[in-house]
Amino acid sequence: MIRLVGASRPAVATLIAAALFIGACSSNPASTPTAVPTEAPTPTDVASDPGVAPSVSLDPRAFITDPPDPEASPSASPIARSSAPTDGGPQESATPKPTKAPKPLSDYITRGPKGKNGEKRLALTFDADMYPFMYPTHDTTNKYDPRVVKLIEDNGLHATIFANGLYVKAFPDLIKELSKQPGIEIANHSWDHGAWPGCAGRDPAAPAVTDKKAEITKAAKIIEDTVGYKPQWFRFGGFCYGGTADLDLVKAQGEWPVGNSCFFGDSAAYTAAQQIASVKACPNGGIVVTHLNNGVYHPNIYEALKALIPWWKANGWTIVNVTELMGQSPPEN
Ligand SMILES: [Zn+2]
């Protein structure tokens, strides 16, 4: 069960641009289907030459966006929940049970409300990526960094882990273990990290999505079978989707699409110091994305996170998961 802390009523802006991040989750997050292509090395590049580290030299700060204050422009889109009454069962006419009222969310979440009374809030998200080309070997050199997992556990970090279906299939015990950590929630990162039709700048390593609904539901099923609850957040592989109809399809499955608002810079192209500086620049109410993956794709996350955790504590930041940031109810068993 996920504990909810510091819930506050969200009122989130409409679509806003998200930051670019690169690596195993080679990406082109954007508020429109016409996203720019990444300059990052792709997993295919890395896989074809594992001895060569990616060598781009982009300034991570260049990808930090400054989205509008979500509290300034409320949206009226309630999250769809499986817990909502849908059947024709017995009606309780006298005193209805308290309900978990859905709260308004933007069509595509990239950040949440700021903390109150000086508190700064940041939603920490980890993508757990398993491309099809990685699956035959379970890509054990890049599956996850046990030191990062230990940091999460030892520090009681709250976070949302967006795992794609193949990743969960490869490492069910890891996902199950993490799901039991207070403040950790498992969310949907599609089945195979595929690129959705119409997505510009797609990652060549990503398979073409042919059955959009199955990308969502197949991953949701293996997550539910593994951790005992349905995921309620969805992140497109590489933030790559075709348009608003894709967002609507996600919502129709009872999940909500989530992007990011600031850049971790967690690929091999960035030093730990660059990553730390990038994350320190995240906005209050932001969503930052990094990876469970490590190895040649993301070798410096541990060093960055190890430094950021005490910095967050010393500087008034509360690290939350997406559910907590958005003031929603936790997923139910
Ligand atoms: Zn990813």
CA–centroid distance, 162 to ligand 1, in Å, is 8
Closest CA to 152 of 302, 328, 52: 302
pTM as predicted = 0.74
CA–centroid distance, 238 to ligand 1, in Å, is 5
CA–centroid distance, 100 to ligand 1, in Å, is 30
CA–centroid distance, 208 to ligand 1, in Å, is 15
The string of DSSP codes covering 60-76 is GGGG---PPPGGGS---
pLDDT of residue 165: 98
CA–centroid distance, 230 to ligand 1, in Å, is 19
Closest CA to 123 of 269, 18, 212, 274: 18
CA–centroid distance, 62 to ligand 1, in Å, is 20
Q: Which residues of 22-34 are buried (b: 16+ CB within 10 A; e: fewer)?
A: bbbbbbbbbbebe
CA–CA distance, 155 with 161 (Å, rounded to integer): 16
Residues with CB under 5 A from ligand 1 (ion): 25, 127, 129
Mean pLDDT by runs of 10 across the 333 residues of the chain is: 33 29 39 32 32 28 35 38 34 44 79 90 97 90 90 96 98 97 98 94 89 98 98 96 96 97 89 95 96 89 96 96 93 72
CA–centroid distance, 311 to ligand 1, in Å, is 26
Phi, psi of 331 (to 5 degrees): -60, 150
CA–CA distance, 113 with 72 (Å, rounded to integer): 10
Specify whether the CB–CB gap between 164 and 189 falls below 8 A.
yes
Specify whether the CB–CB gap between 205 and 26 falls below 8 A.
yes
Q: Which CATH architecture has domain 43-47+63-78+101-325?
A: Alpha-Beta Barrel (3.20)
For the chain, the domains span: 43-47+63-78+101-325
pLDDT of residue 207: 93
- Chain-centroid distance, C-alpha 80: 18
Q: Two tokens at 44?
A: 């295919």
Q: Which helix (H) or strand (E) holds 214?
A: helix 212-227
Closest CA to 79 of 201, 217, 215, 250: 250
Q: Which helix (H) or strand (E) holds 314?
A: helix 301-314
CA–centroid distance, 192 to ligand 1, in Å, is 10
CA–centroid distance, 94 to ligand 1, in Å, is 47
CA–CA distance, 279 with 268 (Å, rounded to integer): 16
- Strand 77-78 and strand 104-105: pairing? antiparallel
